Amino acid sequence: MVDEKDWEPRNEEEKYSIPVRNILKIAMGTILSSAHKFYFDMVDGKIVNVLEDGSKACAAVISRILICVMYKNYVFLEGPHATVDSLVADLELCGWANIDLCARRPGSVVVWEEVDGNRHVGIGVSEYKVLSNCKEKKVPVLHDWTTESDDETPRAIERILWHPLFADT
């Protein structure tokens, strides 16, 4: 069970913009969901689940959350993605920009440094927690900003992206 204190504002005065509220609600609804385990594509003439039954689904989870969010006809992501690189490229095309690595904002997209050839991405849900896909459990989970999924393995943040319209809506 997820404790809503993990993502609700700590200060009663703090208010999230409408797009950020939508991102957070959708993100929290994906926790432990197996809906993101499959994305089929042609590889070397064969149909392959490129998400490997969910163990490589972080970009798919985050992109599927973000494509559900619109505000005043503004789209924050053009489409779903199976790789972190293509997701980040789409975010940049849609106006997302890097912010300070210490600015842990709910609704921001977190990209961790590459480890063993693998990149990882998640969404900030509070100043303390992020949501990302756990490669071991193969489902989205909440964890600390500086760890890989929920296994407590430290992982350095490469960049944090934020959409400038989030502050104005």
CA separation for the pair 57, 60 (Å, rounded): 5
The domain limits of the chain are: 4-167
pLDDT digits (tens, 9 = 90+) for 51-97: 888 888 899 999 999 999 988 888 899 999 999 999 999 999 999 99
Confidence class for position 12, pLDDT limits 50, 70, 90: very low
Please count the residues of the chain.
169
User: Does pLDDT of 7 surpass 80?
Assistant: no
Nearest to residue 84, comparing CAs of 51, 55, 111, 116?
111
Domain 4-167, what architecture? Alpha-Beta Complex (3.90)
What pTM was computed for the model? 0.86
Confidence class for position 150, pLDDT limits 50, 70, 90: low
Residue 27 falls in which region: left (phi positive, over 0), alpha (psi -120 to 50) or beta: alpha
